[in-house]
Every structure is written in C-alpha cells, then in structure tokens.
Amino acid sequence: MDALARPDSLDTLTVRIPAKMAAEQLCLALVTRDGRYEARMEFALPPGAGDFVELSYPSQFKQQLLDAKEPYLAVLAGLKPDCNAHETVYIPTAWKRPDSLAELQLIINAGNLDAHVAVPVLDGGERRFECERIATSPTIAFNRICTIELAADLDLMGVEIRRDDFFGNPLPPVAMPIAF
C-alpha cells in the first residue's frame, strides 16, 4: 500500500504482528506532515493475535485529517513491554489490510540531508534503498519516503536510516528494527 495515498476511512488501522514476537503493548505515534496533529495511543495485544490485527482509531479529527492535502499522516507502530520503554521493535502498519506484502515504506525526516535505508542481507552484505524527497509542503514532521523492496534474504531487524551531511560525511545511523 502506498504510504502517501489518502485512505477511504480512518476508522481502523491494520498492524501486522509477527508470529514470534513476545510483547504486551502496541504503541502508536501519529503525526501529520505539517506537525499540527500528533497523537499517541496504546493497545494491549490480545493473546494469540493473528498476523493482522485491526485496531479502532478513536479520533475526533478524522474528517479534518481526511480533508488535508496528501501526504497527510504518518504512523509509527512499535511493540514494547510497555509504551514508556526505550527499546522498540517496529511493525508494518496500514489503514487497510494489504492484498500482498511486496514492499515496506518508511516516512522519515532527514532535513535537507540525503538519506537512505541500509538493510543487512543474511549472507553478510547489505542492500541500500534510497529515500525520495516528498514534493509537497510544508514538510515539517517528515520529508522523505524510503521504499524497501521485500526479499527473503533481508534481515529487517537490522534496518538503519543513514544520512549524509552537506560534505558527504555520514551522521550517526538511526536504528529502525522492523519485525516482519
């Protein structure tokens, strides 16, 4: 699913829970690209939840969010022992259940810097996925989209967001472990 596409509805949010993950809390952070709307939510995971879990999204601003220009809203979903814990494993999220899972899209804020996502490959190498600038404005909360083409040999738990400053020097990577 295209992370920048406007959904038909914001009534429910679908998350993909990996079978081998043991976490009690699903922690969500949502933000619009202009930074004017932010929300945080916590959900207790039901025991024995299937691959996809549909969550009710309780917001009184659904219509305003749907009326906004695209891209309008980014969702970050993480599994933690509790939502105040620092370590997080991130999971795929969509406004409706996808028909297939061929790619993951990360929405990030890299400022004016170039950015890419580095994903380790099981044989010891890594694959690089460039992040493209989002052409609309304002882009206060996020300004790039990075598309990871899924493959069986990728170790998504080792995903890193990497940025280069204006002189080509790398800034510290940002770990983004994705449970898939």
- pLDDT attached to residue 177: 94
136, part of any domain: yes
Q: Which amino acid would we find at residue 152?
A: A
Check: pTM over 0.75? Answer yes or no: yes
Over residues 74-130, the pLDDT tens digits come to: 888 998 888 888 878 899 998 888 888 899 999 998 888 889 999 999 999 999 999
Do the domain assignments include residue 2? no
What is the number of domains present in the chain?
A: 1
Domain-embedded: residue 4: no
Q: From the CB of residue 37, how many other CB atoms can be counted at a distance below 10 Å?
A: 17
d(CA 87, CA 97): 27
Per-residue pLDDT at 21 = 67
In a domain, 107, yes or no: yes
Residue 122 domain boundaries: 12-175
Rounded mean pLDDT, 162-172: 81
Mean pLDDT of 64-77: 78
pLDDT of residue 99: 82
Residues sharing a CB contact under 8 Å with residue 170, sequence separation 6 or more, in sequence order: 162, 163, 164
Residue 7 falls inside a structural domain = no
- Any domain includes 131: yes
Whether residue 1 has pLDDT greater than 80? no
Tens digit of each residue's pLDDT (9 = 90 or more) over 132-165: 998 877 677 888 999 999 999 999 999 999 998 7
Query: Is 122 contained in some domain?
Result: yes
| Tokens found for residue 146 | 């990075």
Look at residue 88 in the predicted model and tell me its pLDDT.
83
pLDDT at position 71: 58
Q: Does 40 reside within a domain? A: yes
Lay out the sheet containing 144-149: strands in order across.
Answer: 103-108, 144-149, 126-133, 114-120, 160-164, 174-175
Q: Residue 31: how many CB atoms within 10 A of its CB?
A: 20
